[in-house]
Structure 1
Amino acid sequence: MSAPLPVRSSGDHAVAIAQVNAHLDALSARFVSRRALLELVMLGLIAREHVLLIGPPGTGKSAVVHAIAGALEARAFEYLIGRFTEPSELFGALDLNALREGQVRPVTAGMLPEADVAFLDEIFLGSTAILNTLLKILNERTYRRGQFSVMTPLISCIAASNAMPEDPLLAAFADRFLMTMFVEPVGDHELTELMRTGWRQTAEPAEPIPPLGRGVVAELHEAALAIDLTPIHEAYAHVVRKVRLVGVTLTDRKIVKGQTLIAAAALLRGATAAGPEDLWPVTYLVQSRAQQDEVREVLAVELKQSRNPVLTNSVARATYGPTAHAAHLTEQASLLLESRPALATDSLYESWLVRVETMLTRIDAAFDANTIPQHLRAVRASLEGLLEAHSSGRVPDLTAPATVEDDEAD
C-alpha cells in the first residue's frame, strides 16, 4: 500500500497560487467577458483534466485557448479538424526508414503525442480512426499505432465545437471531457468594451506575457492530490443524487473524476481540505446547456456558499448563487468605475453613463436593500452617486472611497 501524500499548509503554495491569479488577470485583460473560460481551462490544467468548449463561431474560443497555451511554459499542439483530416496530421506520419525494416513507427516530433497542451477545434468532425486514437490518449495518456506504443506528456486537451453532437457514439466520446462550458457572444452591456479592446489590439499588438512555469502547474497538481476530500464526500453524493433526480446523467467515471476539480478548487481557495464552497465544479460536469441551467436552480441551496478568490467568474457562471453573483457584479462594477472618462465633456461620457445605469439595474434585479452584500453595496453607492452628480450638474470625485456609514444610513 502506497504511503499517503504529505499534507502541507495552503501557505506553502501561496506563491504559486498568486502566480496563477496574476496570469489569469493578465490574460483576461486581453479579452472581454472571457475570464470564466480562462479560469476553467486553468482549472483543467491544474487538475490534469480535459475541457470542452461549445459555442457559435466568432466567440473567441480559439483565440482564448491559443493565448493561454502560448502563455504557458509547455509544448502546445493546435489543429482545426475537418471531415477529411488524416490521422497522420495529428499523430505523425510513418517513419519510412523504419517501414523499410518492417517496423511501424510514426514520427511524432512536434505532433499531438508529444504535446503538453492540445487544442483541437471542431473535434466532432474527426474520423473514427482519429477519435479512437484520441480516446486512448485522453483516457490513458498513451499513443498506440500497431505495435508502437508510447506514453504521452499531455496535461490537458481543450476541444471546441459549434454544438454538442446528436450521434450517441460522438456523445460517448464527448463524455471523456470532464468539463463543458457553453460560450456565448459578448453581452450587450459589454459591446463598447469589446470594440475598444479589439481595436486597441489591432492597432497595437499586445506585449507577450511571461510564460507561467511548467513547475508551477505541476506543483499545484501535486498539492491538489493532497487535499482532504473527506469533509465533502457526503455533500458531494447528495449533490449528485439531486442532479440525477432531474434526469441529468452523470457517469460513474465523471462522478469520480469530478473530485479532482473539487480538490483543485479548494487548493486555489487557499484551503487544505475541501468544503461546501468548492462543490461548484459539478455544474460543468453536465454536457447540456439547458440541463446546466436546471442544475444551477436545483442546487441553489447546496451551492450558495460557493466562492473562490482566483476562479471568481467561473464560480459565478456555475452557481448564480448570491455570494458568487455578488462577487461577479462587484468586479464588473469596479472595472466600470475605473473606465470612467476623465472629463464629463468627453464624447464617450454619455455612453459610459448608460452602462452605469445598466449596471445599477443588474444589481437591483439581483439584490434588494436587505440582501445586498456590503462590498457590492459600497460600489453600488459609488455608481448611484455618479448618476446623481451628473443629473445635478456637479463633477463627481471618485478619488474618495465610498463610506460604509453613508450606505448604512440609507
Structure 2
Amino acid sequence: MSNNDLNLTPWFDYLDQRFSERSVALRLSVLAVLSRNHVLLLGPPGTAKSMLAREVAEMISGTLFQTLLTRFSTPEDVFGPLSLPALEAGAYERLTEGYIPEADVAFVDEIYKANASILNALLGILNERTFANGNNVKSVPLRTMIAASNELPDDEEGLDALDDRLLLRVEVAPIQSPENFVAMLQADNDPPTAPAALSSNAIEEIDNQAAGVDFPEAAALKLLEIRRAAENAGLEISDRRYKQSVQIMKTMAALDGRSEVIWSDFGVLRFILWRRPQEQTVVTRIVGAVLDELGTTDGKEPTLSEMLDFVDEIQDQADAILARPQDYFATETQSLMKELAHKTLTVSQQAESWSRAKADLIQSIDGIWSLFWQSSAGGQMLNEHVQALLEHDLFIRVLPNVDHREAQEFKTERSRLLAQLATVEHGTIS
C-alpha cells in the first residue's frame, strides 16, 4: 500500500479547524485508533473531549459508545442490561447492542470512577478484546477507548491495572490563546464538512504493515537504556507499557511507509512513560537525552524533518510550562526553562543547515511522519512553528533566568533566524 492510500492530511486539516489548541490530543487519538491502543485525556470538563471521540469514530466509520461514570454507575450502564428471556432460561446474559462490547470506539468520561464490578469486565475488553457474556466469551471489535478524567486516582484506590492500559496520555487544558478563544465564540454552528471516512481495507492494511515492521536490536537496546534511566529516576513503568510502545512505534513506521522503526519514532514515548503530570519533565529529559545522542552519533547534520520535530518538542514543553500555576512555574521549572533556552539556541544555530536542506524539505512535505504530526505543508510549517516559538511568551520568562551572556547570544541568534525566515517563500527556503 502506498502512503496515499491512507492519507491523513485531510482529516488533520479538518480536525484542526474543528478544535483549537488540540493538535497533540487529536494526533494521539488518531494514533491510538490506528494502533489499537487506548488514550487518556486528562483535563477539566468542557474541553471538547467527547466531541473529539465522536470525530475519531467518524474517521474510521465506526460505532461509538460513550458514557459518564459515577460512583453509582452499574455494569448495565456499560455492558448492557440483562436479558430477561435468558434469565428465565437460567442463563446470565446481557443485551450488548449499543454498549461497549459492540463498539469500535468508546469514550468513557471519568474513567477512574469505575467500580470493581465494572472494572473486572472492562480490563478484559481493553487488553484481550474479549467479553464474557454468560457462558460465552466473545471477541469485541473495539479499536480504542478514549478515556477522560479531570483527576488521577490515588495509589491506594486499586486502579493501577486500569491506568496501565491507558497507554497514550495527554493533558487537555481550556483554550489559552485569546485569539483562539474569540474565534471559538464566533465559530459558526455549522461545522466544516468532514472528509471521507478511512476505508476498512486501508485500516486493515496498516494493521498488517505495522505487524511486519522490524524493531531492530539497536532500538531494543536503546529502549532498555531508557528503561534503566527511568528506573534510576524513580519512575515505575510496567513491561506492558514498554511492549505496547513498540506497537505504537511500528504503526508510526507503517504510516510513514517504512519497514523499520527509526530513532525519531522514540519521540512518542513522551506521551507514554509518565503516569502523573509532574513526571512529564523527567520523561521528556530522559527521552530527549537519548534522541540528542542518536541525532549526533552518526556525524550527519540534522535533516529538516528532524529539526521540525525538535521545534515541535520545544513548543510542547513550553506550552506545558505555561499551563502551570504561577507558584509551580516559579519553584519547579527553572532548570527546564534554561534547558529550553539552550535547545532553542541550538535550533537557531541550525538556520544555515536548513537553507542547505531544500531536498529534505521537499521530501518532508510528502512524508507521512511530517503530515502526521503537523497538517501544514513544509515551508509554511517551518515558518509558522519557528515564528510561534520565537514569539512565545515563554521567552519573556526564560531570559531573566539565564545569565546575561546567554541572553544576549540568544537574542542575536533569534534576530538571525527571523531574518532567515523572511526569505521563506512559497514553501521553499532561498
TM-score scaled by length of structure 2: 0.72
Residue of structure 2 in register with 1:281 after alignment: 268
How has the CA–CA distance of structure 1 residues 228 and 324 changed in structure 2, closer, same or farther, with 3 Å as cutoff? farther
Which of 157, 171, 192 aligns to 2:160? It is 171
Deviations 1:35-82 (A, max 9, x none): 111110111112111111111222222222222223321111111112
Native 8 Å contact 1:235 1:276 kept in 2: no
Distance 1:145 1:33, change over 3 A: same
SS at match of 1:158: strand
**Count of matched residue pairs:** 357
Contact 1:35 1:313 in 2 (8 A): no
- Counterpart contact for 1:36–1:313, Cα < 8 Å: no
Asked whether 1:236 is paired with 2:223, we answer: yes
Q: SS in structure 2 opposite 1:98?
A: helix
Q: Distance in 1 between matches of 2:95 and 2:213?
A: 39
With over 3 angstroms needed to count, the CA separation of the structure-2 counterparts of 1:357 and 1:215, relative to structure 1, is: closer
Q: 2:282 aligns with which of 294, 299, 302?
A: 294
Partner residue in 2 for 1:349: none
Q: How far 1:314 sits from its partner (Å)?
A: 8.0
The question of whether the paired residues in 2 share the 8 Å contact of 1:329 and 1:363 is answered with no
Give 1:27's aligned residue.
15
Q: How does 1:32-43 map to 2 (within 5 A)?
A: 32-43=20-31
* Alignment partner, residue 112 of structure 1: 100
* Structure 1: distance between partners of 2:136 and 2:152: 33
1:141–1:153 Cα contact (<8 Å) kept: yes
Amino acid across the alignment from 1:381 = A
Q: In the alignment, which residue of structure 1 is the partner of 2:44? A: 56
Is the counterpart of residue 265 in structure 1 residue 216 in structure 2?
Answer: no
1:140 equivalent in structure 2 = 128
Contact persistence 1:92–1:109 (CA under 8 A): yes
Percent of aligned pairs with the same residue? 27
Give the Cα separation in 2 of the matches to 1:296 and 1:55: 20
Cα drift, residue 275 of structure 1: 1.2
Paired with 1:329 and 1:311, the residues of 2 have a C-alpha distance of 13
Displacement of 1:218: 2.1
Task: Give the residue type in structure 2 aligned to 1:172.
Answer: A
Instruction: Tell me which protein shows more helix as a share of its residues.
Output: 2
What amino acid is the match of 1:263? K
Cα separation, 1, equivalents of 2:410 and 2:199:
44
Going from structure 1 to structure 2, the CA distance change for 1:357 and 1:278 (only over 3 Å counts) comes to closer
Contact 1:45/1:217 (<8 A) preserved: no
- Counterpart code for 2:166: F
2:364 matched residue in structure 1 = none
Match in the other structure for 1:359? 391
Partner of 2:150: 162
1:149 aligned counterpart, secondary structure:
strand
Distance in 1 between the 2:184 and 2:107 partners? 24
Amino acid at match of 2:180: E
Amino acid at match of 1:193: N
1:181 aligns with 2:170: yes
In 2, Cα distance between equivalents of 1:198 and 1:114: 36
Q: Tell me which residue corresponds to 1:102.
A: 90
AA aligned opposite 1:52: L
Structure 1 residues 146-200: Cα deviation after superposition (integer angstroms, max 9, x where no partner):
423211111111100001111431233211111111222333xx32123214422
AA matched with 2:237: L
Whole-Å separation in 2 of the counterparts to 1:241 and 1:401: 46
Task: Give the residue type in structure 2 aligned to 1:67.
Answer: E
Match of 1:212 in 2: 198
C-alpha distance in structure 2 between counterparts of 1:261 and 1:226, whole Å:
13
Letter in 2 for 1:170: L
Q: Does 1:200 align with 2:192?
A: no
Most deviating of 148-157 and 321-330: 321-330
* Structure 1: stretches of 5+ with no match in the other structure: 1-11, 339-354, 383-397, 406-410
Q: Give the corresponding residue for 1:348.
A: none
Q: 1:131 to 1:63 in 2, by over 3 A?
A: same
Q: Give 2:422's aligned residue.
A: 381
